[in-house]
Amino acid sequence: MSKIDVAPPYTAVSRHDMFPEPRHDEAARFDFLANLNKFLAGTLGPGNKLAYDKRVLPAFVKEHGREPKDRFEIRHAMNADPFHSFWSALKRNSMEMRQQNGRAMVLRQLDALDAKAESLNAGKDTLELNPDVDVPRYQAAVDIHCMPGSYHGEERPGDVSAGANYDCGLFATTGGALGALNDGGGQALVEWIGKERPGWAPKRILDIGCTIGHNAVPLALAFPDAEVIAIDTAAPSLRYGHARAQAMGATNMRFIQANAEDLSRWADGTFDWVQTTMFLHELSGKALPKIIAEGYRVLADDGLMLHVEQPQYSDDMPLYEQFIRDWDAFNNNEPFWSAMHALDLKDEMVKAGFGRDELFTVGVRAVVDTDIFPEAPTGESEDHGRAAVWNAYGAWKNAEAIQEAAE
Amino acid sequence: MTEDLDWMTRANLKAKGKRPDFLGDPEEEKMLSMLMAVIGEVSVLRERLDTVERLLEAKGTINRADIEAYEPDREAGQERGELIREYIARVMRGPHQALQALEEFEPPVQDVVDELRDS
């Protein structure tokens, strides 16, 4: 018999110096949640499609004389189905338990965590906080993914509780699929760029919406001669992220509290690489194009723009799949998720200034130590919304023109 | 331990944003959330017991610091994961069987009773 598929133990998570120290039972809570999420996605998850095919869709067709015309009609019909509503209730509870469990562990040791952050951050000019930066409405309207206080909440002024809670629980919701340092996304980018442009050495990289920097640290370590600027509007996440990066030796990173809708402090063409990871869906309809346009402006010729996201909904994607991928929008406080995934990101990048022929899309799967950590499942067993399998929407700015000029 | 902060109650902070109505009854929602928390805590107790058993087997005597410091090796980690997986399957029997019931149409047992009586 092949090895039974279980989540790796929480104790396999690497503990950098900033990481909260789990007690035995705190680790055991995350062990339970990681395996519960695997069960809800892998074993029970396919029941949603079954309920749809066997009773929800036939009943809809009988009532309306046609099939649902969009994912919203499917959602309304599915929410009345007892299998789906109970599954959703279980899944919502697992999200809420992850937050409660993470906060209990972090707040218990908050004095120690704040002291560690203080000692790692003190006297460093690579952390720039600016209290004049407002928390944008799209970050404040609800607490994103049911994380109490969102990325910017504080238990007391100047603390790191939000960042520490975010870091310590990513393991549970992804079943360990982001790897030992929750950085499988960043590791995947490093692997991809190494194949795409061997020997390329970007001098300045901008990571927008960095939260705790877990996706950008691998870039900083892979390109030690580059300066990596990581920006976010949430000071508590930046405090934690900067301390975390310092603890991991990523001293070529600068964490700056800033809103990417206005990057005017940087001149045109400042960066060789501008990127976001799982960030665009946490914006708004007006902020997203502004941020992509600003990103385009500060990107140098022959520079790379890359946005890593869950797959966009297209006309080719079955409506049922669009509906199930939308679950987090309505059940896990991701209010821009649905609208964002319906956008054509290629159109948005063209509007920002790219030529259509400069655009590319590439599949990205978290790169983890597969001896210990699982590869993220896809297909029917996929945990939609948090599977560590993404699409990267990218473009090299004016690359062809630059190369032609050089020849 | 954190001073000047009631971290135990602060851990329960509600996320901003209206909670969806899943079950049509707020009392049922609360009962399910309590049940899920207890299901989680039983798993935690079982894992702690597993730790105690393994430490006793290896060392003969233990203290609480040993339990806190225990980290399973690759094999023990897999075995403990399997314990949790089996436990989850057992407590999730109800929803899991609801899924299986969706797979094929089943007539009410009364229909089968009538059929067998007459055939």
- Closest partner residue to A44 (CB to CB) among B70, B82, B95 is B95
d(CA A206, CA A275): 6
Q: Between chain A and chain B, how many beta carbons pairs sit less than 8 Å apart?
A: 165
Minimum CA–CA partner of B104 in chain A: A54
CB contact under 8 A, B44 and A25: yes
- Quick check: A289 and A259 in contact, CB under 8 A? no
pTM for this predicted structure: 0.94
Q: Rounded to the nearest 5 degrees, what angle is found at the Cα of A293, between the Cα atoms of A290 and A298?
A: 125
Inform me whether the pLDDT recorded for A382 exceeds 80: no
| The one-letter amino acid at A37 | N
**Residue B4: closest CA among chain A residues belongs to which residue?**
A111
Cα of B16 to nearest chain A Cα, Å: 5
Across all residues in chain B, what is the average pLDDT? Answer: 96
A146 touches chain B (CB under 8 A): yes
Cβ of A24 and B48 within 8 Å?
Answer: yes
> Is the pLDDT score of A70 beyond 80?
yes
Give the DSSP H or E segment for A364. strand A359-365
DSSP B64: H
Q: Which of A206, A232, A209 is nearest to A219 (CA)?
A: A206
- The answer to whether the Cβ–Cβ distance between B5 and A155 falls below 8 Å is yes
B15, B22, B92 ranked by CB distance to A88: nearest: B22
Contacts of A99 in chain B (CB under 8 A): 15
Q: Is the pLDDT of residue A245 over 60?
A: yes
- Return contacts of A281-286, CB within 8 angstroms, 24+ apart: A281/A309, A281/A310, A281/A334, A281/A336, A281/A337, A281/A340, A281/A341, A282/A138, A282/A139, A282/A144, A282/A209, A282/A334, A282/A336, A283/A138, A283/A336, A283/A340, A284/A136, A284/A137, A284/A138, A284/A336, A285/A336, A285/A339
pLDDT bucket at A407, cuts 50 / 70 / 90: confident
Eight-class DSSP state of B61: -
This model of the complex carries an ipTM of 0.95
- Min CA distance, B119 vs chain A (Å)? 30
User: For B55-67, how does the pLDDT look when each residue is reduced to its tens digit (9 = 90+)?
Assistant: 999 999 999 999 9
> If you count them, how many residues does chain A have?
407
Region A97-108 average pLDDT? 98
Single-letter amino acid, residue A273: W
Tell me the shortest Cα–Cα distance from A228 to chain B, in angstroms: 32
> Is A28 close to B36, i.e. CB distance below 8 A?
no
> Which residues on chain A are in Cβ contact (under 8 Å) with B40?
29, 32-33, 36, 97, 101
Over chain A, what is the mean pLDDT? 93
Asked if A8 lies within 8 A of B81 by C-beta distance, the reply is: yes
Question: Where residue A209 falls among pLDDT bands split at 50, 70, 90?
Answer: very high
Average pLDDT over residues A317-328: 96
CB distance B11–A92 less than 8 Å?
no
Instruction: Identify residue A225 by its one-letter amino acid code.
Output: D
CA distance B94 to chain A (A): 11
- For the segment A131-140, the average pLDDT, to the nearest whole number, is 96
Report CB contact under 8 Å: B2, A111.
yes
pLDDT in tens, A138-181: 999 999 999 999 999 999 999 999 999 999 998 888 877 788 78
Is A25 touching B (CB cutoff 8 A)?
A: yes
Query: Six-digit token pair at B106?
Result: 């089943």
Contacts of A58 in chain B (CB under 8 A): none
Contact criterion met (CB below 8 Å) for A343 and A288:
yes
Length of chain B: 119
CB contact under 8 A, B48 and A92: no
Per CB-CB distance under 8 Å, the chain B contacts of A32 are: 40, 43-44, 47, 84, 88
Does any CB of chain B come closer than 8 Å to the CB of residue A362? no
Closest by CA to A5, choosing from B96, B89, B78, B76, is B78
Helices (H), A109-146: 110-121, 137-140
Contact B102 A23 (CB under 8 A): no
Confidence at residue A244, expressed as pLDDT on a 0 to 100 scale: 97
Q: How far is residue B55's CA from residue B33's CA, in Å, rounded to a whole number?
A: 33
A96–B contact, CB cutoff 8 A: yes
Amino acid at A271: F
Neighbour count for residue A369 (Cβ, 10 Å): 13
Smallest Cα distance from A107 to chain B, Å: 5
Strand, helix or coil for residue A77: helix
pLDDT at A1: 57
Average pLDDT over every residue of B40-51: 98
| For testing contact with chain B, the best of A3, A93, A101, A165 (most B CBs within 10 A) | A93
Task: Tell whether A59 is within 8 A of chain B (Cβ).
Answer: no
Q: Which region among A7-11, A196-200, A341-345, A403-407 has the lowest average model confidence (pLDDT)?
A: A403-407
User: Which H or E run contains A351?
Assistant: helix A345-352
For the segment A27-37, the average pLDDT, to the nearest whole number, is 97
Query: Contact B80/A31, CB-based, under 8 Å?
Result: yes
A372 pLDDT band, cuts 50/70/90, is low
* Cα A353 to Cα A139: distance, rounded to the nearest angstrom: 27
Scan residues 272-331 of A and list those with Cβ closer than 8 Å to B.
330-331
Cα separation, A219 vs A252, in Å, equals 10
Rounded distance between C-alpha atoms, residue B94 and residue A44, angstroms: 11
Give the confidence band of B100 by pLDDT, cuts at 50, 70, 90. very high
A277 phi and psi angles, rounded to 5 deg: -130, 120
- DSSP string covering A162-211, please? HHHHHHHHHHHHHTTTT-TTS-HHHHHHHHHHHHHSTT---SEEEEES-T
Instruction: Decide if A104 and B70 are in contact by the 8 Å CB cutoff.
Output: no
How close is the nearest chain B Cα to the Cα of A103, in Å?
Answer: 5
User: Rounded to the nearest 5 degrees, what angle is found at the Cα of A15, between the Cα atoms of A12 and A19?
Assistant: 130
Closest to B23 in 3D by CA, of A84, A384, A50: A84
Give me the pLDDT at residue A67, please.
98
Ramachandran quadrant class, A305 (left: phi over 0; alpha: psi -120 to 50; beta: rest):
beta
